[in-house]
Chain A
Amino acid sequence: MTDVKPSHYALLGFEGIALSFPQDQVLNINSIDDMQAPATTHQEFGSVRHHDSVLPVFAFSDNLQPKTASATAHRFCVSFHIDGVPSFAIACDTVEPLAIDQLAVTQPLPELMKLDVTPIRGLLQHGDRLALESDAGAMHAYLEYVGAWHE
């Protein structure tokens, strides 16, 4: 299988972390004020509406443990799709586009740093900045693994 690297990313900033996703997986960027109560009674996370879909909104600690987003701690919620199906949203403080150019270096996460399940697929260096590289599928799998995902 050929792994074609994206050329454009969305860079989400929170808790001192920069987490990048392929820009074509982003559905929408909402204000955190658009976040609503959990969609179902067994969910602990808030939700955001995207057309007819209601997507869970996840925030993360500085160690990427899922936590509840809050309007006082976050500014945006960024919605993602997986293969065209609206899937989830992530709360963050900043969101910015990043185009890969000659200043950028990407590499897989070194093998000795990999744990069994992680949403981090690689590292992206742009100038003196470093972002964690993820994608919607890997994040969904991680959220399921840590028990944060409720259908």
Chain B
Amino acid sequence: MPVPCTLTWSMWGPGMSESSTAWLLDVGNDIKIAVAEPEMVEFLLTPKLHRLPLTPDYCSHVLLWRRLIVPVIEMSALFDSPTFLQHSSALTVLRYQKASHAPLEYFGIVVEKSPLKIMVNDQQACEGPASDHGIWQSSELVLAHFLHDELPIPILSLPYLTSEAFRDFVATTHPGHDSQ
């Protein structure tokens, strides 16, 4: 499925003709994603996570953080591979808004390495890999790609990633991944 070849996006600043700062997150299985600098809140090396029964595989833990109960997403649970939460549970706390005046919402995403700060601009925009399948086929999830170290990096829609619609999409495209 074609994806828009522009990186212009409200959280990335007014246009991308000049470089914007982003964070590169390694979410496991050699998969990297990018989030805008304002979306990153905190990196936690050894957070205490609480598992909840009867929840989707990719979001089965919560973090108690600043008097909030924050859901934690584990992208590697969506890649037909063992989850690595048992032996590595570093995570980043991210924030987003569903609309410009909506309250900030928070969630955690499990990462394998420390986030890397990078600069991105429109000249790096590229198509997604032709081999993309599964969740990467969702144009609602993947807003755009850019080239970094010769690899296409997806920019994800955080409101969609944390939505019921994405949960239902996963249940459809990843049968067996929808319950603990």
Contact = CB atoms under 8 A, between A and B. Distances in A.
Given A107-B69, A130-B64, A120 B52 contact: yes
Nearest to A62: B53
A111 B71 CA distance: 10
A84 interface: no
Contacts of A107: 69
Contact of A112 (B64, B164, B180): B164
Which of the listed residues B56, B69, B164 has the most CB atoms from chain A within 10 Å of its own CB? B69
Given A17-B53, A114-B55, A120-B53, 10 more contacts: A63-B180, A105-B67, A110-B162, A111-B167, A113-B55, A113-B167, A115-B54, A115-B179, A120-B52, A123-B69
Contacts of B69: 105, 107, 110, 123, 125, 130
A110 B180 CA distance: 16
A64 B53 CA distance: 6
Interface of A: 17, 62-64, 105, 107, 109-115, 118-120, 123, 125, 128, 130, 132
A113 B166 CA distance: 11
Given A107-B69, A115-B179, A64 B54 contact: yes
Interface size band for B:
20 to 34
Given A63-B180, A128-B64, A112 B54 contact: no
16 contacts: A64-B53, A105-B68, A110-B71, A111-B163, A112-B71, A112-B73, A113-B56, A113-B59, A114-B55, A115-B178, A115-B179, A123-B52, A125-B67, A128-B64, A130-B50, A132-B53
Contacts of B44: none
Interface in B140-160: none
Nearest to B166: A112
Interface of B: 48, 50, 52-56, 59-60, 62, 64, 67-69, 71, 73, 107, 162-164, 166-167, 178-180
Which of the listed residues A112, A120, A125 has the most CB atoms from chain B within 10 Å of its own CB? A112
Nearest to B71: A110
A64 B180 CA distance: 10
Contacts of B55: 113-115
Contacts of B60: 113
A113 B52 CA distance: 9
Contacts of A110: 59, 62, 69, 71, 107, 162
- Name the 6 nearest CB pairs between A and B, nearest first: A64-B53, A110-B71, A113-B55, A63-B53, A118-B54, A130-B50
Nearest to B50: A130
A113 B71 contact: yes
A62 to B, nearest CB: 7
